[in-house]
Structure 1
Amino acid sequence: MAAGEFAESGADLQLEGIRKTFPGFTAIEELDLLIPAGSFFALLGPSGCGKTTTLRLVAGLEDPTAGRILIGGQDVTSVKPHKRPVNTVFQSYALFPHMSVIENVEFGLKRRRVADAATKAHEALRLVELDHVAARRPSQLSGGQQQRVALARAIVNRPALLLLDEPLGALDLKLRRQMQLELKSIQAEVGLTFLHVTHDQEEAMTMADTVAVMNHGRIEQLGSPQELYELPKTGFVASFLGQSNLFPATVESAAGGMITARTAGGVVAMPQERAVVSTGAITVGIRPEKLRLLSEEPPRDGLENVLGPGRIVDVSFAGASTQYILEIPGLGEVTVFEQNMVFGSVFTPGSEVWVAWRREHTFGLDAAARVEAAEAVAAADPDGEAA
C-alpha cells in the first residue's frame, strides 16, 4: 500500500484484539479500537500505560503478540514500517541539522521521486506559516518553529495516518498552548487522521475530537473530552482527567430516576443515569468548580446537595480562580475552585462554611473508585516519560 493512495484525506485505523507482551510483563492486555478517518484522536495516559507501545505498533516499529492492525480497511500487521501510509512527529523533532528547512521537508518526497517536490514542500511550509525561513538551518529556529517544520515534513507526504508522539512535550507552557491550537487548525485543514499520544490532560482535551484514557494496557474510557470530564466512569478517569472530590457512601434509595446516598457528611442525590451502580456501596463524585461555598447553611430546596459545616484549611490564589480546601467532619478534605469575581479571597483559613452544588452535576462510581483515584493522582507526573 502506498501513502499516495490517500492523497486527499486520511483513513480509518482499526485495532482488533491487539496484545503485546515483553519478557516479564504485558504492555497491552487486549485492545480493540476504531479511529474514524479524518478525526483527531488522543490516546491519553500516564507513563507505562501502553500508549507509546500502541503507537509503535501502528507505525510498524513493534510487532503485536496477537491481533490485527488495519488502515483504510487493509491489514498492515505484517507490512514493513516504510511501506505503511503513516508518518510520525516526535517530541525530539528529528530534523536533519545539516539540511536547510526546505531540504528537510523535501527529503521524503525526493526519496520517493515525487514530481514537483520543491513546490509541495513550499506548500507544506506555508501551511505551518514558515515558508519565509525555508533557507535556514534547524539550529536557527526556535523550538516551536522546529516542531512546525517536523509537522510540515510529515504532512507533505500526505499519509493516511499521522502519529504524534508527545509532539509538544519539549516546549514551554505558553508556546505549547499556542501550538495546541495551531495543530488542531492544521488537522482540520488537511483532513488527515491524527493519532496523538500524550500524558498531558489539557493537551488531549484541547486538541482531540475523541480521547481514550489508557491505564495498565487497557482503555478505561473513550469519548469526547467533555463527556469524559463531565461523566467519568472510573475513579482513575475522574482523577487523571482533572480533579474530583470523591466521597464513600451507601445507596439508600433509587426511585424516580434519582439515587439517594448517605455519606458521613450527610445525604446527597444524583440522577440515576449518572451512576455506574445503584445499590450498596457507591462513591459520590463532584468536580471542584461545580461547588459553591456559603457562609450560612442554605435552605434544602431539593435541587442542590448541601454538605457542612466545615472549616477552610487552605486558600491558594491561581489567577482566574481561587482554590479552597475545607475540612468537613467525617468526610475529610474537600477541594473547591471559585472564579475570582472580586479582589482578594472571599473566605480565609478558619472560616466556617457550607458547600453546595446542583444534583445533576454529581456522578456515582463504584466502591473501588477512591483507590483507583489515588493511583491516578500518583501516575499524573508531568515530568514522567511516555511509555
Structure 2
Amino acid sequence: MAVRTGGVRGAALEIDAVTKRFGAFVAVDDLTLDVPSGAFFALLGPSGCGKTTTLRMVAGLERPSAGTVSLAGRDVTHAPAHRRPVNTVFQSYALFPHLTVLENVAFGLRRRRARDVRARALEALELVELVHLAHRRPSQLSGGQQQRVALARAVVNRPALLLLDEPLGALDLKLRRQMQLELKRIQAEVGITFVHVTHDQEEAMTMADTVAVMNHGRIEQLGAPADLYEHPRTAFVANFLGQSNLVAGTVVETLDAGTTLGVDVAGVRVRVPAARTVAAGPRVLVGVRPEKIRLLGGTEDAAGGDNVLGPGTVVDTSFAGVSTQYQVAVDGLGTFGVFAQNVGGATVHPPGSRVHLAWAAPFTFALDGHEEVAAGTVDLDDEP
C-alpha cells in the first residue's frame, strides 16, 4: 500500500514498494511509506502484522525481498546495520551489566572515537534525568530507569532515526504511562525522528504524531491518532484502535440535501452523516464508539436528532474508576459496549435493567458492509 506522509523532500525514512517473504509467507506486502524528518511515528498492529519485520528491515537486520529503504535521502537497502544512521531501543534494554550507567551511555561514543565523550554522555543522562545515577550499575536501577539509560545511550549518537521496538513492554502499567510522557518530551527536545513499533493502542495514540495501523503486512489506515479514532475506514481499525459497536444495516434513503443517510438497522431508522460513510453500496456496518452512547431507563427520553436502539438488557456492569462500563444485549442485534463517565449523580443500571441506547447522530459512522464485524478484535498480545 502506498502511503506518502511527507513526500520525499525532508523525509527521514522512505520505504518504497518493500516486500518481505519468509518462504511462502509474506510478512510485509508491497509497503510504501514516508516518515517526515522530526516526526514521532508509530507502527501499530497485532502480533504477526509485519510491523517488527518492517523495523528490522529499516535497521538493517533483515533484507527486503523486493523494494528499497532510504534514510535521509540515501538508499541503504543493502547497507549493513552498522553503516546506517539508525539506533534501536529494545524492550530488553541490553545494557552492559559490568559498566556503570555513564559508561553504558558513553560506549558508542568511545567506539567511534568521538570528542568530548564524558560531557556528551552526561548531557544525554541529563536529558533523561538520571545524572545522579551516573556511577551506578544497571542492576541497581529500576526497570524504568534502565529503559531511560537505554534511551540515553541511543540518542547520544544523534542518529537520523531512532527505532523503538516495544520499548515499554516490560514495565508495569503505571510506569509505562509515565514513560509514554517521558518519551514524548525527550523526542520533542532532541528533534530526532522516532519510529515506534507497538501493539498497544494507548501507547501509540499517547505519543505519536502519526499512526500507521498495520494488518497482514499492509497499512490499513494512516493518520493523526484522533482522526483514526474518530474516522475509522475499516472494521479492523474501528475495532483495533479502541472499541467500537458495529451492526449490519442497509442504506434506504438520503436526507438533508445529501448530507445524511438513513440506514435501516433491524427495522429501526438510524441517521449517519454522509461524510462519515466509506461504503460504496447500500450494505453497511453502522458504528458508534462506546463512550458516545447514553443508556435511557424507562422514564428517560432521547434528545431530538438522537439515534436510538433497543430495548435491551444490561448483562454486565463494571466500575472502572473514571467510567462505568456496561454490556447491553439489544434484542435482535447482539451485545453493545457502553462507557458512562462517572461524573457524580448519574444513574447506575444494574444487571437485568431494561434500557434503550441513544447517541447523537453525528457520532455515527458507516463502513463497508461486506467486512467482518469482528475484524481487529482478537488481541494476540506480545510479538513472538
Q: TM-score normalized by structure 2?
A: 0.94
- 311, 315, 325: which one aligns with 1:313: 315
Cα distance in 1 for partners of 2:101, 2:375 equals: 43
8 Å CA contact retained: 1:11, 1:192: no
Structure 1 counterpart of 2:383:
385
**Deviation string, structure 1 residues 102-159 (Cα, Å, up to 9, x no partner):** 1111111011110011110000000000011111110110000000000000000000
Structure 1 counterpart of 2:207:
207
Shift of 1:254: 2.7
**For structure 1, which segment, 234-243 or 247-256, has the greater mean C-alpha deviation from structure 2 after superposition?**
247-256
Q: Does 1:227 align with 2:204?
A: no
Structure 2 counterpart of 1:298:
301
**For structure 1, which segment, 338-347 or 143-152, has the greater mean C-alpha deviation from structure 2 after superposition?**
338-347
8 Å CA contact retained: 1:233, 1:276: yes
The structure showing larger relative contact order (alpha-carbon pairs under 8 Å, at least 6 residues apart) is 1
Structure 2 counterpart of 1:3:
none
8 Å CA contact retained: 1:307, 1:356: yes
Cα distance in 1 for partners of 2:67, 2:26 equals: 14
Cα distance in 2 for partners of 1:70, 1:24 equals: 26
Letter in 1 for 2:43: L
Q: Does 1:157 align with 2:160?
A: no
8 Å CA contact retained: 1:251, 1:278: no
Cα distance in 2 for partners of 1:281, 1:62 equals: 42
Aligned runs of 1:34-53 on 2, under 5 Å?
A: 34-53=34-53
Cα distance in 2 for partners of 1:141, 1:313 equals: 46
* Structure 2: gaps spanning 5 or more residues: 1-9
Q: Does 1:143 align with 2:146?
A: no
Matched residue SS, 2:374? helix
Shift of 1:190: 0.3
Matched residue SS, 1:356? strand
8 Å CA contact retained: 2:201, 2:241: yes
Structure 1 counterpart of 2:129:
129
**Deviation string, structure 1 residues 257-299 (Cα, Å, up to 9, x no partner):** 1111000161101110101115321000000000011114625
Cα distance in 2 for partners of 1:11, 1:218 equals: 20
Structure 2 counterpart of 1:4:
none
Shift of 1:173: 0.3
Shift of 1:22: 0.7
Structure 1 counterpart of 2:283:
281
Structure-2 change in CA distance of 1:335 and 1:135 (3 Å):
same
Structure 1 counterpart of 2:341:
339
Structure 2 counterpart of 1:73:
73
**Deviation string, structure 1 residues 291-316 (Cα, Å, up to 9, x no partner):** 01111462572x21111222211111
Matched residue SS, 1:377? coil
Structure-2 change in CA distance of 1:172 and 1:343 (3 Å):
farther
Matched residue SS, 2:63? coil
Shift of 1:170: 0.2
Letter in 2 for 1:16: D
8 Å CA contact retained: 1:265, 1:329: no
Structure 2 counterpart of 1:100:
100
Cα distance in 2 for partners of 1:349, 1:42 equals: 39
Cα distance in 1 for partners of 2:280, 2:303 equals: 23
Matched residue SS, 1:350? coil
Structure-2 change in CA distance of 1:219 and 1:46 (3 Å):
same
Q: What percent of counterpart residues are identical?
A: 62
8 Å CA contact retained: 1:307, 1:354: yes
Matched residue SS, 2:377? helix
Shift of 1:342: 2.7
Shift of 1:55: 0.2
Cα distance in 2 for partners of 1:198, 1:265 equals: 41
Structure 2 counterpart of 1:84:
84
Q: TM-score normalized by structure 1?
A: 0.93
Letter in 2 for 1:294: L
**Deviation string, structure 1 residues 189-247 (Cα, Å, up to 9, x no partner):** 00000000000010000000000000000000000110111111100111111110001
8 Å CA contact retained: 1:46, 1:215: yes
8 Å CA contact retained: 2:45, 2:214: yes
Structure 2 counterpart of 1:196:
196
8 Å CA contact retained: 1:50, 1:214: yes
Structure 2 counterpart of 1:322:
324
Cα distance in 2 for partners of 1:154, 1:15 equals: 22
Structure 1 counterpart of 2:361:
359
Matched residue SS, 2:157? coil
8 Å CA contact retained: 1:42, 1:211: yes
Cα distance in 2 for partners of 1:299, 1:278 equals: 30
Structure-2 change in CA distance of 1:42 and 1:299 (3 Å):
closer
Cα distance in 1 for partners of 2:213, 2:302 equals: 39
Matched residue SS, 1:337? strand
Structure 1 runs of 4+ aligned residues shifted over 3 Å read: none
Matched residue SS, 2:321? coil
Structure-2 change in CA distance of 1:72 and 1:49 (3 Å):
same
Cα distance in 2 for partners of 1:16, 1:190 equals: 27
* Structure 1: gaps spanning 5 or more residues: 1-9
8 Å CA contact retained: 1:265, 1:330: no
